[in-house]
Chains A and B, each alone.
Chain A
């Protein structure tokens, strides 16, 4: 399993764009990059997934450079409700033995 490294915590203010970068130097050819969000007392919730270049949905954007050794989750104009832990994972096309690290704790202040 490819390991990921992300900042332990980040602070932001309402209305700002937040970019959380994840390093995955040992990503394999078949691995996809997936991001989850977890609120206190809830299970992780899928946000976005990609393989290369850029992916955008109604919640976030995911930027993946050509070498795929890192990825950046971009949250546009965050609000207080975006305060959560964000996990970056890589997974291949096999069994989903996902390992969630400590994630990045994002705190959005007024």
Chain B
């Protein structure tokens, strides 16, 4: 069973469109994240939710809106897509937000978004 699953795996779209990426985890974790990996392979956190509550919101354009219907799901909606949004987006989860030790991140396999 896949622990953290994201869909779609690939997403090709045109500038100006709106798209969503879905994420689900079956690990029973309380905390979920969205990370972005750019072309230089830097992986940076975008958002984090704990039990459906937004706890981390990095400097991300407000065109990006996360939504967590329950603690097992964290979706990412992107409005008015731009060329610079092209990247690989990773969803992740962890057992706890309050401690780094013994609470490693479990990542999905990513969604490669290409904006043309």
Contacts and interface: CB of A to CB of B under 8 A. Distances in A.
Same complex for A and B? Answer yes
Contacts of B4: 43
B42 A100 contact: yes
A95 B57 CA distance: 12
A43 B108 contact: yes
A75 B7 CA distance: 33
Interface in B19-36: 31, 33, 35
Contacts of A10: none
A7 to B, nearest CB: 14
Contacts of B83: none
Contact of B100 (A34, A44, A99, A100): A34
B110 A41 contact: yes
Nearest to A45: B107
Contacts of A85: 41
B60 to A, nearest CB: 13
Q: Which of B43, B56, B97 has the most CB of A within 10 A?
A: B43
B100 A91 contact: yes
B43 A94 contact: no
B86 interface: no
Contact of B98 (A46, A49, A94, A100): A94
Contact of B43 (A44, A49, A51): A44
Contacts of B44: 99-100
B51 interface: no
A3 B45 CA distance: 15
Contacts of B98: 93-95
A46 B104 contact: yes
6 contacts: A51-B101, A85-B41, A87-B43, A94-B100, A95-B56, A99-B44
Interface of B: 4, 31, 33, 35, 37, 40-45, 48, 55-56, 58, 90, 92, 94, 97-110
Closest 9 CB pairs of A and B: A43-B107, A91-B100, A100-B43, A46-B104, A93-B99, A32-B101, A43-B90, A42-B109, A32-B100
